[in-house]
Amino acid sequence: MFEIQLAVGAKVISGTLVTAFPSVGMVGSIAGSFVAESLKMERTAYVLSDDVPPAALVQDGIPSYPLRILGHKDMFIMTSEFQIPLTLSTSLAKTLLEWAAKNGFKQIVCLEGLMVNQEGAEADKEIRVFGVGSTSAARDTLTKAGIEQFKVGMITGVSGALLSEAERTGRDAVCLLVEANAMYPDARGAAKLVESLTKLVPSLQLDLKELYKEAEMIEENVKATVERTKEMLSARQGQAERLGKSYMYG
């Protein structure tokens, strides 16, 4: 159902393969975009399927295939702007694992968001990142990186399918889950996700200060928008109540 086709002139060097799809708070997409832009990744491959939406993301006048793999040296990211349907997740996960094995990838990492209680998230500024490994070797990697392991819960979508398929076939795969706000794009959560990724991949050198700076700006803008929305709704509610009274007693 899926086929991975190399871009013209592209080469694949065995290393780390990361999946970054839309998830809770868009953390996977934001984190993947930051890594890709920081490393100036180039188009490496296209993930073809008749089930891929007929669309193109246009940035700076350049169209992009909706499901693609970007790469720089030995770091590669599979990403997309659309949510992969649950019915296609297992098929995509199998295709990805087979392609990774064929090209000798040493590490597969999924980036995911973990929904948290919003009241608790407001009260506690500390954002936690957890990890799940498909094999004992993968779990040892998490321990050595100082990443707390996710003990009980459910992971769905491509990440869940990839973990279960990797466990079934004895292949190493890791999923990083960051606590995220589902109400808006959570840039701070994405920043923590990238920070944990650099622990798993020490050779990945990124300017995390810049990412956290961007995260703070996004967070402040979102908070301001939320406050303006509350004020607007409150004003409209007051106006509606006044109109209701005028109709009632007028």
Tens digits of residue pLDDT in 179-189? 998 887 888 89
Which tokens belong to 3? 């086929």
Where in the chain are the domains? 3-206, 208-250
- The pair of three-digit structure tokens given for residue 105, joined into one six-digit string: 């990838």
Phi, psi (deg, nearest 5) at residue 151: -85, -50
The CATH number of domain 3-206, selected from 3.40.50.10900, 3.40.1410.10, 3.40.50.2000, 1.10.150.20:
3.40.50.10900
Residue type, 200: L
Q: What is the pLDDT of residues 108-167, one digit of tens each?
A: 999 999 988 655 445 456 899 999 999 999 999 999 999 999 999 999 999 999 999 999
Query: Is the pTM value of this prediction over 0.75?
Result: yes
> Helix 208-249 vs helix 187-200: angle between axes, to the nearest 10 degrees?
160
